[in-house]
Chains A and B, each alone.
Chain A
Amino acid sequence: MLLLKLAFRNILRQRRRTILTVLSMTGGYVLCCLSFSLTDGSYKNVIRIFTMDHTGHIQIHRDDYLQRPKVFKGIDDTPEQRQQIHSQPGVQSIAPRVFTPALAYAGTRNTPVQIVGVDPALEKTTSRLFDKVTQGQYFDATLNADGYYSAMLGIGVAESLRINIGDELILISQGADGSIANDIYIVTAIVGTRNSWDRNKVYLPLSVAQEFLSFYGKVHQYSLLLEDENAVGRITQSLATALPTLTVNPWMQVEATFYNSMEADKRGNRFTLLIIVFIVFIGVLNTVLMSVLERTREFGVLKAIGSRPATIAGLILIETMMLASMSLLVGVVIAAPIIAWFALRGIALPDPIDMGGIEFGFMTGEFSVGVFAWPMLLIMAFAIVVSIPPGIRAARVSPTRAMGSF
């Protein structure tokens, strides 16, 4: 208690210097919080857009379908299978899908496309496909009056084939059994924009796609959304255990390129912050050293009357930690409203950023314990490190020399 009192009074001795030191640490802290909040917030946003757009949080395939997609690598899509997956704790929705490359014809034009077969109702609960319909109507799996099934096109397909809502589309591919697959469909909707990842896709209702491919009762993929996006790792684990014959991948593996570049960007950001905090603390180190040198005589007395070297070093540590704590207190008071504002309102970007075909025009902050706590730990860690050299210096003061009474 007395030691704390001593430390506290010591830092109040040079008020102006204390205030400047505290403010510089506060500055570093607030900067860190803001940066953490904005990078985490933006990426959370991007991840949400990304996973909601098409990847989902977790994907389930058979064998190595993810790396080597082959039409025949299908999962037996039974109600029990779906139920087993859906009933895992934390799984919010499940969407079965089939995929195959195909050639699309309309009139005299043709273009290569990727067919995606989706369950119209389940897909709505798992991806944003429904919201991405820009023209026409979201499809269903019923025959129209003329006996045709519906297809929805990415805008790239519609443009290459110069077709629109209501036009005919011929698809040719190879069935899962090796047969030639071909059929005529009617375009009922256009989805996405020119930048969308699915601009060259043709969506068919699941049952229609299965029939087209002679792939009855099978799917290539289950895409899952979770209730909590932070639970991906844990639920991937439990699903993998529950489904030993299938391959379960979190979105980080499904979209490894995006995930890795995001992580690299985050690391770069953190490194920049580290440098800034480092520079701040060079100043702090200087101040603490100065305050130690000024008090050489006092440390000499403290040592002469029996303070251990470790006690003296501890005193310096306590003083520096007190300065850091004050900075953090002020820092939280300053950072909290700013970050709250970023989290609630966000800032519009002058030019929307295109991330893998997903537009991203708003930058919002993240308001969480971590955003405040991690920079706090960083500042505290630096404060501890920075108090070591002056602490050693003070601890080593020779009591005779300090007394200067020879």
Chain B
Amino acid sequence: MMGISWQAIYVLWLREMKGMWRAKSRVIGSLGMPMFFLAFLGLGFGGASIPGMPEGLQYIEYLTPGIIGMSMLFSSVFAGISVLWDKEFGFLKEVMVAPVSRLSIVLGRTAGGSTVALMQGIMVLFLSTLLGFKIAGVIPVILSLFFMCLISVTFVGLGLVFASVMRDMHGFPLIMNFVVFPTFLLSGALFPIGALPSWLIPVCYLDPLTYGVDGLRGVLLGAGASDFSVLLNFMVISAISIGMVSVGSYLFERTEVER
């Protein structure tokens, strides 16, 4: 249809940044859950032997990439779905009558939501060092940022898909319980997928977060810590993120503000 409007993408992103900055306490507060997970699971299972764990890894090391993935999953899906808040507060109409392509709107929102999720991921990463996680150097951190970006884009896209098919926020708990939590639990964030019954394993391979978390492990902990190669993880999650944003924009384009 129309091209991409960089100005629109930028201003939608900027709006999200301002919103985040003004809700600093909420952003900090949302670090609570991942930190509790890290602290309690990390300490609780620290000495346990977990089947399928790569040799020579502390549980906290294994766990940290998983919890980074979890916190980004939650905040990304939420960022995507929050289009519904704009609808409720009337602001979506202001966005929808603007003469910019719907793709630009989707990209702007994705950029904004992903940045928020990315910040959280980075904060979890650095806070985890307080609990004994060791960062191996600058390169691993930079590589992990790529994976974090891809994870957040994927799940903001998923959130937009839900926002396009839902009328209001009422369905949100349903999605949390039946989509977001299973996505988290099946991704191998907490323990190796191999420990699950064999019939569940294919389902894990359909879970985009599996590749995100495994990729994070590969870059942060070294090749021995991941199931797949970093490159494979990278390619799979890249493809999924592009697919997800495309489906999100397609559906978003078709939803009018009202029928």
Do A and B bind? no
Could you list which residues of chain B lie within 8 angstroms of chain A, going by C-beta atoms? none
- A-side interface residues toward B, CB under 8 Å? none
